[in-house]
């Protein structure tokens, strides 16, 4: 018995479908393009540009006491017209990199890289560099036709191949204009022999590439990783995976080595479309090394495991809510509604109406709907043997319905008082072999381990990742082989201190 009669009418209500997942628009991460123009020995202007991304990457991590910093690096400061960068001129006819077979360009040709400012348009930008009105109108028209309804975001780089017209030094001609808002798509408007302009869309193939970032902790773990080239999101995942095992206050020291293995996506010409998803990571704490490996068991949710194939999640969440107090424990008690002594098969946590209820562990939703005295109820299956149940909810979490996988800590519903309940609380049950046991007594016994075929598959993945953490190309080496990379000095020729 519970705090309500044993549910016989297990009416199930289908959960409301989740709101469509937001597909994050991915913005290009590495800007080496402007730098390339400079390296090619031509003219480069940053058109009222924001500071190059490279400034953020190069900034040293703030020195601080051991702590986890999960915030992304602060946004670069707004740029005013005072920051309008000067331009770098190299002698005309300077060596220009050419694909083999192409004839050398005329000395009156130069490359220009501009960035759109907020409220700026391509046409206005071309007017600013004195392109003839008829030309810029046509270029803008062709570009808009090519982009369809997509608009070019402020800060986007526009690469121009320019030519000085004999006798008209103040009215340069645009030979081609190119913008690449996504690394896999390049929009080009090119001047034809007859002087008209035509649009062209170039598509680049995208494929995965595995790289490693190996560095030492100086300042925060997060900052050190980002400074060494790991994406902020991957570092957050790494830190969260470590948090179950590592005591950040006592065990983290300066100078500790760590490695993260990343899966990047790159275009056929070497542009990174995704800076890297965390596949595995290793932190050397001196006395011991902590390893985390991403793995998805058959039919289960993706998670991180140690090298032995044990989930890094050391135990289930002790309380499936952020703020809660136990209002009624597990065991025999006087039933508040029924008035007689009965077994309380779970633990009650008092919490305000609407408090989010979190999945105690990664698992699968096996029930989500009204369930007699339990009211609106969710049951999760974590392993064959272990399950959890959550009663009296006011409503279900987004996307929660039978069959879906959930991560530990995912919101599966909200505190309510549905079913047989005297007030807003969560009735939380924990099942072993199908029988309710005391959730609060289970904290050490709940580590999930892989077994059978999952474990076999995991071992293969783990040995591959462990080897790649030693021998995969470093993130910066991989970038260097893919992109014609100028030296740092050339890459940020106008970057002054304080610009970052
Ligand atoms: Zn209860």
Distance (Å) from CA 352 to ligand 1 centroid:
15
Residue 279 banded pLDDT, cuts 50, 70, 90: very high
Question: Could you tell me the distance, in angstroms and rounded to a whole number, from the CA of residue 311 to the centre of ligand 1?
Answer: 29
Contact indicator for 355, 394 with CB cutoff of 8 Å: no
CA-closest candidate to residue 180, choices 113, 127, 102, 254: 113
pLDDT band at 255 (very low <50, low <70, confident <90, very high): very high
Helix, strand, coil % over all residues of the chain, rounded to 5: 20, 30, 50
For the ranges 60-69, 107-116, 152-161, 396-405, the one whose mean pLDDT is highest: 396-405
For residues 341-350, one letter each, b for 16 or more C-beta atoms within 10 angstroms of the residue's C-beta and e for the rest, the string is ebebbbbbbb
- Over residues 319-334, the mean pLDDT reads 72
Cα 482 to ligand 1 centre (Å): 60
Position 280 scores a pLDDT of 98
**What is the distance in A from the centroid of ligand 1 to the CA of 353?**
16
Buried b (16+ CB within 10 A) or exposed e, 45-65: bbbbbbbbbbebeeeebeeee
Ligand 1 centroid – CA 349 distance (Å): 8
User: With 90 as the cut, is the pLDDT of residue 367 above it?
Assistant: yes
Out of 77-86, 259-268, 280-289, 456-465, pick the least confident.
Answer: 77-86
| Model pLDDT for residues 206-237, shown as the tens digit of each residue | 999 999 999 999 988 889 999 999 998 899 88
Q: Which CATH architecture has domain 33-49+85-203?
A: Roll (3.10)
CA–centroid distance, 337 to ligand 1, in Å, is 11
Ligand 1 centroid, distance to 347 Cα (angstroms): 6
Distance from Cα 340 to the centre of ligand 1, integer Å: 15
Asked whether residue 445 carries a pLDDT value surpassing 90, the answer given is no
- CA 390 / ligand 1 centre spacing (Å): 9
77 or 368: which carries more pLDDT confidence? Answer: 368
Mean pLDDT of 92-106: 42
Could you read off the pLDDT of 68-84 as tens digits, one per residue?
Answer: 444 443 333 333 333 33
Distance 131 CA to ligand 1 centre (A): 75
206-314+465-482 topology per CATH:
Nuclear Transport Factor 2; Chain: A, (3.10.450)
Non-local CB neighbours of 35 within 8 Å, separated by 6+ positions: 52, 486, 490, 491, 492, 493
Same CATH topology for 33-49+85-203 and 206-314+465-482: the answer is yes
DSSP letter at 311 equals B
Non-local (6+) Cβ contacts of 374 within 8 A are 2, 4, 7, 389, 391, 392, 419, 420, 427
Q: Dump strand ranges (E) for 386-470.
A: 386-396, 405-406, 411-415, 425-432, 435-437
- Going from N- to C-terminal start, the domains of the chain cover 33-49+85-203, 206-314+465-482, 325-441
Tell me the pLDDT band of 283, cut-offs 50, 70 and 90: very high
Cα of 360 from ligand 1 centre, angstroms: 16
pLDDT confidence band for 437 (50 / 70 / 90): very high
Distance 406 CA to ligand 1 centre (A): 23
Given a contact cutoff of 8 angstroms between Cβ atoms, the answer to whether 139 and 132 are in contact is no
As assigned by CATH, the class of the 325-441 domain is: mainly beta
To the question of pTM greater than 0.85 for the whole model, the response is no
Kindly state the average pLDDT of the residues 470-479: 85
Q: Give residues whose Cβ lies within 5 Å of ion ligand 1.
A: 3, 346, 348, 427
Does pLDDT of 410 surpass 90? no
Cα gap 288→296, rounded to integer Å: 26
């Amino acid at each position: 018995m519970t705090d309500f009669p044993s549910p016989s009418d297990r009416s199930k209500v289908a959960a409301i479908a989740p709101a469509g997942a937001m597909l994050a628009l991915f913005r290009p991460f590495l800007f080496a393009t402007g730098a390339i123009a400079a390296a090619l020995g031509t003219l480069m202007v940053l058109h009222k540009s924001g500071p190059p991304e490279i400034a953020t990457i190069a900034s040293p991590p703030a020195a601080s006491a051991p702590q986890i910093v999960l915030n992304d690096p602060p946004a670069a400061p707004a740029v005013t017209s005072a920051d309008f960068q000067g331009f770098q001129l190299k002698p005309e006819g300077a060596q220009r990199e050419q694909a083999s077979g192409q004839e050398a360009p005329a000395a009156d040709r130069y490359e220009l890289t501009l960035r759109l400012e907020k409220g700026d348009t391509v046409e206005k930008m071309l007017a600013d560099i004195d392109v003839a009105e008829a030309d810029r109108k046509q270029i803008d028209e062709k570009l808009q036709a090519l982009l369809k309804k997509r608009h070019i975001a402020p800060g986007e780089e526009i690469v121009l191949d320019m030519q000085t017209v004999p006798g008209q030094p103040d009215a340069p001609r645009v030979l081609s204009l190119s913008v690449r808002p996504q690394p896999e798509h390049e929009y080009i408007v090119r001047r034809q022999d007859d002087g008209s302009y035509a649009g062209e869309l170039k598509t680049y193939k995208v494929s995965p590439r595995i790289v490693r970032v190996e560095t030492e902790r100086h300042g925060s773990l997060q900052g050190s990783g980002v400074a060494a080239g790991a994406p902020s999101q991957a570092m957050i995942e790494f830190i969260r995976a470590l948090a179950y095992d590592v005591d950040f206050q006592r065990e983290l020291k300066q100078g500790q080595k760590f490695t993260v293995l990343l899966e990047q996506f790159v275009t056929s010409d070497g542009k990174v479309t995704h800076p890297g998803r965390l596949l595995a990571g290793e932190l050397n704490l001196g006395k011991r090394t902590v390893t985390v490996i991403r793995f998805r068991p058959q039919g289960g949710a993706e998670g991180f495991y140690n090298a032995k194939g044990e989930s890094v999640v050391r135990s289930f969440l002790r309380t499936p809510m952020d703020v809660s107090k136990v209002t009624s424990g597990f065991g025999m008690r006087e039933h508040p509604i029924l008035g007689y002594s009965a077994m309380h098969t779970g633990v009650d946590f008092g919490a305000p109406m609407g408090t989010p209820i979190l999945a105690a562990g990664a698992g699968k939703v096996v029930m989500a709907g009204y369930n007699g005295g339990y009211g609106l109820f969710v049951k999760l299956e974590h392993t064959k043997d272990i399950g959890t149940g959550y009663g009296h909810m006011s409503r279900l979490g987004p996307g929660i319905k039978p069959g879906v996988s959930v991560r530990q800590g995912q919101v599966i519903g909200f505190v309510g008082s549905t079913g047989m309940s005297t007030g807003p609380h969560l009735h939380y049950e924990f099942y072993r072999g199908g029988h309710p046991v005391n959730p609060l007594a289970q904290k050490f016994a709940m580590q999930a381990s892989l077994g059978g075929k999952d474990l076999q598959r995991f071992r293969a993945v783990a040995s591959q990742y462990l080897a790649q953490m030693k021998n995969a190309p470093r993130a910066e080496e991989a970038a260097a082989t893919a992109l014609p990379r100028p030296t740092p000095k050339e890459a940020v020729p106008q970057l002054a201190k304080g610009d970052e």
